[in-house]
Amino acid sequence: MPVRTREVTSEWLTAAVCGGHPGAAVESYVVEDVSSGTSSRWRATVAYNGAGRDAGLPTALFAKTSRSWTQRLLLGMADVLTGEPGFYTHIRPELDIEAPRGYHGAVDAASGRSIALMEDIVATKNVTFCTPQTPISHSEMKDLLDGMATWHGRYWDHAELDRHAFLRKKPGTFIGNLAKFAGLKKRSIVGVQRARAVMPEAIVPLHEDLYQALWQSLDLAGRGPLTLLHGDSHIGNVYKTESGRLGFGDWQVVMRGNWAYDVSYTIATGLAVADRREWERDLLAFYLDRLAAAGGVAPEFEDAWLAYRQQMLWAYFGWLLSIGRSTIQPKFQPDSISLGMLERASNALLDLDTLGAVRSSAA
């Protein structure tokens, strides 16, 4: 399991990529480090022998690994080491969506070493990655939600959600572990002060009530019918292809839960405040139509609207945690990204009266 570039060999690449193609083998390769954050990333350009070329095996590969002990500790405590290896091995081959192709995934539970080997979409599709500063049109958001409805519908209340260990966690379990490990309550208070300039002043005195409502919201996110969730579907995990398609990357938080958890996070972080206000009802109706077409059981619109409103809280608290980090915690996102997310999410909480929506289900 080569978590470092110097550990990669032609024999390992052949074993990982050429299985099922008799006689195919990697003849040469070039590997380079890309970046290191929550995970370590490297890319490989591969050349095959004649059998490999005839089989059309991929030549542009991208790997995400847990190279350092801090990455293994963080990903292990958050229980997401197995997410992408599991997704690319078992789930991605079953889905016709815009997402990187997966070629190999593995985890060693004892050491925490892991790898997800996938398509290098920068090389194959000339993608650009999105941020809160990236303009997203109405039609582009519909493209994202169409793909989301496809995987939600495919795995709607499906037995396979129980079959794979990496899909057994729910949003409340994942965020509960993260909250304890990262000190969410304290860091979110710091985050409010650091992000206050971009948020409506009316949200500040609601902080404690919103924090309590977060856990009620996450409880609702774990209630059925359950489906496959991306789990981290904010706009920073979205890319645009050269042909204009939008898709999701970074599938390490894949889990099971209520559809609204994914949909709310995407719309809240993906659209400028004014666009969300104008388009969100239409976009939700579009998603429900596509969900039914993909095999899901779409709820009535008003029930869906309530669920959508209830699931806005993690889009807020997750980014308060990011910008509110302590000096000894890693900085995984630039402040400009966190502030952009918080401007959108905080306005959504107030516009949609998420606090009242959550309380209505608890009453």
Report pLDDT digits (tens) over 202-241. 999 999 999 999 999 999 999 989 999 999 999 999 999 9
Mean pLDDT, range 168-178, rounded to an integer: 91
In a shared domain, residues 198 and 267? yes
pLDDT band for 331, please (50, 70, 90 cuts). Answer: low
- Note down the domain range covering 323: 126-362
Give whole-number Cα distances, 114 to 67, 223, 243, in Å: 8, 30, 32
In this structure, the number of other CB atoms found within 10 A of the CB of residue 59 comes to 18
User: Given this model, what pLDDT does residue 75 score?
Assistant: 73
Average pLDDT score over the chain:
93
Q: What is the DSSP letter of 91?
A: I
In a shared domain, residues 21 and 85? yes
Q: State pTM to two decimals.
A: 0.93
User: Given this model, what pLDDT does residue 122 score?
Assistant: 95
Dihedral sign for Cα 87, 90, 93, 97, please: negative
In a shared domain, residues 193 and 280? yes
Residue type for 323, please?
I
CATH number for 90: 3.30.200
Q: How many independent structural domains does the chain possess?
A: 2
User: Given this model, what pLDDT does residue 66 score?
Assistant: 83
User: Given this model, what pLDDT does residue 50 score?
Assistant: 97
CATH number for 272: 3.90.1200.10
Q: Check whether 74 has a pLDDT greater than 80.
A: no
User: Given this model, what pLDDT does residue 326 score?
Assistant: 82
Of the candidates 20, 110, 16, 112, which has an alpha carbon nearest to the alpha carbon of residue 63? 16
Helix (H) or strand (E) holding 43: strand 40-48
Percent of the chain with pLDDT over 70: 98
β-pairing verdict for 238-240 and 246-248: antiparallel
User: Given this model, what pLDDT does residue 69 score?
Assistant: 74
Report pLDDT digits (tens) over 175-192. 998 898 889 999 999 999
Report pLDDT digits (tens) over 96-110. 999 999 999 888 888
Bridge partners (DSSP) listed for residue 133: none
In a shared domain, residues 85 and 171? no
In a shared domain, residues 299 and 222? yes
Burial 172-201 (b: 16+ CB within 10 A, else e): bebbebbbeebbbeebbebbbebbeebbee
Give whole-number Cα distances, 212 to 207, 209, 219, 359, in Å: 9, 5, 11, 10
In a shared domain, residues 312 and 179? yes
- Could you tell me if 297 and 323 are in contact, meaning their C-beta atoms sit under 8 angstroms apart? no
In a shared domain, residues 95 and 152? no
